[in-house]
Chains A and B, each alone.
Chain A
Amino acid sequence: MNRIRLVDHLVLLLGVFVMVAPVVVAFMTSTHDAVDIHRNGLSFTWGGHFTETYNTVLTRKGGFTGDITGARMILNSLILGIGFAAGKIVLSMLAAYAIVYFRFRFGTLFFWMIFTTLLLPLEVRIVPSYEVMTKLGLTNTYTGLIVPLLASATGTFFFRQFFKSVPEELLEAARIDGAGPVKFFFDILVPLSRTMIAAIFIIMFVYGWNQYLWPTLMTTDERFFTLVRGIKQILLVWVGSNIPDYNEAFALAILAMLPPVMIVLIFQRWFIKGLTESDK
């Protein structure tokens, strides 16, 4: 019994080590200065330059134009991530609501059309999308960054499945209670979908936060740079005898990890609560 427990613990500890160690190494290394990292490589020890490095990363105006700070990039990433997740949820809930609760011509056809776009990743349609955005004059705007990515087959599909599992009688009871389509949606469906919304918000936020290709293409103005792009920017200075600011890259990477982790932590609690208390 005890032996089995010991083995269990070892396996779990190993798992934790594999998951956490890289993060710890990245964090510890980020507290050393660039020269130290260049000379000694990664380190597990505290370097003592924590405040300095993170302060620089967050507030130093950098880039070519010199008016982009880490804080600004975090803000941009947040705008992208939240706008992306919220927009996707709103759009896909409405689409799923239409598909499930309204009988209209070619409803199923539309659903399958939306569904097949799952097979087309962003990369396939990135050039035409870019062209459209350029023609609309939406490059270097938040609208241009967010809107083209909003249509979500995944979200629509998830919400459709969820709405189909809501008992028919609820709709009928609401109809008799005098709730029209709009009221039914906001009073009954949205509250019932809380857990689904939380789950999709987590997935979509992380997806939006980690977007790299699309923001790279859409933004040339540094004021719109996201954190993920910023990390790359730092490592691009490998010219002459410059030592890249490894410490800053690591610090940015750590910073870039924090918001998604927070989002998962916050919504997970909701998510699990919703799952365990849910009933039909």
Chain B
Amino acid sequence: MASIGIKDVSKIYNGGVTAVSAVNIDIADGEFIVLVGPSGCGKSTLLRMVAGLETISEGSVTIGDRVVNDVDPADRDIAMVFQNYALYPHMSVYDNLAYGLKNRRTPKAEIDARVAEAARMLELQPYLERKPRALSGGQRQRVAMGRAIVRKPSAFLFDEPLSNLDAKLRVSMRGEIKRLQRRVGTTSIYVTHDQLEAMTLADRLVVLSGGKIEQIGRPLEVYHRPATTFVASFIGSPAMNLVSGEVHGSKLALGPALIELGATVPTQGAVTVGLRAEDLRLHQGLDGSMPFRIDYVEELGAQRLVHGLVGDQPMVAALSAEIPLPETASLSIASFRLHFFDTASGRRIDWAGERAGAAATSTVEFVIS
């Protein structure tokens, strides 16, 4: 068990392509960190640099208090779980689990004990003599995790371990990974492109885009206070509605609607406004502040996603399935739930209203223009 420090780490490929640029992450002992981002954002490259499978172009990686830039992967005291499991196909489950220990000249009795313990933890005892091809996807994934556990490393590295499983299995394996990590308390770095996986697993998540960190924070912090428009659109399902509006004094103009903010925003003129689909309320007729032209509806069972236009900007509202959909509708939102982003840089603009509103429970009245 150890903390991991990633300091100014960059990966520049021979052709001059920068895959990861100047990333800083401090990972505490026992923490579960999730690196999340779209494909090609550099998250896997970053993980592989920590593992030692890619060379580090710039910066340093420390595991415990040891800089490991030039240390062989085998000597970094880490274990990795791969997307396609990477089990040795010709070895039995037992041998797969024991291989790393054998290479480290662990005594036979100790190997037996550790494999037995891991097998018990992962409920793999009945399969120890089987070859990987005789196992289901979920079982193979468990063997891959077992191979990491038996080594008792300082850190687990997960490279999209659940992407090859079907949706249902993924949910249950997600729970298993979380429980397991809690139990053994090993520092973990987990790479995924699935924001739901990231939200549910992470102690802290790191949102990456284009090789740069967009935001680091606890899942709810990232969800409630996305640092950039990229994070806002990436975390949360459905994605946050991002529309352009204009701030005039303490009023926000959103297409035809004018919303009273009740506090000042430290910017004037054009801004990007973020509205979570689940923060929107539907009103019959034009009672709400934003006239809403319904386009189509996605039924999800418990709720429905209503797609439509406010002015000429698309907007999605997540509504209870019980609310009838009127011919003419409008939407409203509690003003403290509005997010403001700089139109040019995409960075979040903090404003007084959200802090004031965080405590308030009642909806702020809107003025219809």
Q: A172-B86, A277-B133 are in contact. Are A178 and B53 (CB under 8 A)?
A: no
Q: Which residues of B contact A173 (CB under 8 A)?
A: 80, 82, 86-88, 147
Q: Which residues of B contact A278 (CB under 8 A)?
A: 89
Stretch at the interface among B26-34, B97-105, B228-236: B97-105
The one of A177, A192, A277 in contact with B103, judged by C-beta atoms closer than 8 angstroms, is A177
The one of A175, A187, A188, A191 in contact with B73, judged by C-beta atoms closer than 8 angstroms, is A175
How many A-B contacts at CB < 8 Å in the complex?
66
Q: Which residues of A contact B169 (CB under 8 A)?
A: none
The one of B80, B88, B100, B103 in contact with A170, judged by C-beta atoms closer than 8 angstroms, is B88
Interface string of B48-85 (1 = CB under 8 A from A): 00011100000000000000000011110011101110
Interface string of B107-138 (1 = CB under 8 A from A): 00000000000000000000000001100000
Taking a contact as CB atoms under 8 Å apart, the answer to whether B103 and A183 are in contact is yes
The one of A176, A183, A188 in contact with B79, judged by C-beta atoms closer than 8 angstroms, is A176
B90 in contact (CB, < 8 A): yes
Interface size for A (C-beta < 8 A) is: 21
Task: Give the complex CA separation of A169 and B44 in angstroms.
Answer: 13
The size class of the interface chain B forms with chain A is: 20 to 34
Task: Give the complex CA separation of A174 and B88 in angstroms.
Answer: 9
Q: Which residues of A contact B90 (CB under 8 A)?
A: 188, 191-192, 194
The one of B51, B100, B133 in contact with A177, judged by C-beta atoms closer than 8 angstroms, is B100
Q: Which residue of A lies closest to B74 (CB)?
A: A178
Q: A169-B82, A187-B99 are in contact. Are A176 and B74 (CB under 8 A)?
A: yes
Taking a contact as CB atoms under 8 Å apart, the answer to whether A279 and B74 are in contact is no
The one of A172, A187, A188, A277 in contact with B53, judged by C-beta atoms closer than 8 angstroms, is A172
Q: Which residues of B contact A172 (CB under 8 A)?
A: 51, 53, 73, 80, 82, 86
Q: Which residues of B contact A170 (CB under 8 A)?
A: 86, 88
A105 in contact (CB, < 8 A): no
Q: Which residue of A lies closest to B98 (CB)?
A: A177
Task: Give the complex CA separation of A170 and B82 in angstroms.
Answer: 9
Task: Give the complex CA separation of A241 and B147 in angstroms.
Answer: 79
Q: A172-B53, A191-B90 are in contact. Are A178 and B100 (CB under 8 A)?
A: yes
Q: Which residues of A contact B88 (CB under 8 A)?
A: 170, 173-174, 187-188
- A190-223 residues at the B interface, CB under 8 angstroms: 191-192, 194
Taking a contact as CB atoms under 8 Å apart, the answer to whether B73 and A176 are in contact is yes
A121 in contact (CB, < 8 A): no
Q: Which residues of A contact B100 (CB under 8 A)?
A: 176-178
Q: Which residues of B contact A280 (CB under 8 A)?
A: 84, 89
A255 in contact (CB, < 8 A): no
A179 in contact (CB, < 8 A): yes
The one of A177, A187, A192, A277 in contact with B74, judged by C-beta atoms closer than 8 angstroms, is A177
The one of B78, B84, B91 in contact with A169, judged by C-beta atoms closer than 8 angstroms, is B84
Taking a contact as CB atoms under 8 Å apart, the answer to whether A179 and B86 are in contact is no
Q: Which residue of A lies closest to B76 (CB)?
A: A176
Taking a contact as CB atoms under 8 Å apart, the answer to whether B133 and A279 are in contact is yes
Could you list which residues of chain B lie within 8 angstroms of chain A, going by C-beta atoms? 51-53, 72-75, 78-80, 82-84, 86-91, 99-100, 103-104, 132-133, 147
Q: Contacts A178-B104, A179-B103 known; list 7 others, CB within 8 Å.
A: A167-B86, A176-B52, A176-B78, A176-B100, A177-B74, A179-B99, A187-B99
- Offer 23 A-B interface pairs, CB within 8 angstroms, sorted by A: A170-B88, A172-B73, A173-B86, A173-B87, A173-B88, A174-B88, A175-B52, A175-B72, A176-B74, A176-B78, A177-B100, A177-B103, A177-B147, A178-B74, A178-B103, A187-B99, A191-B90, A191-B91, A192-B90, A194-B90, A277-B133, A278-B89, A279-B89
Could you list which residues of chain A lie within 8 angstroms of chain B, going by C-beta atoms? 167, 169-170, 172-179, 183, 187-188, 191-192, 194, 277-280
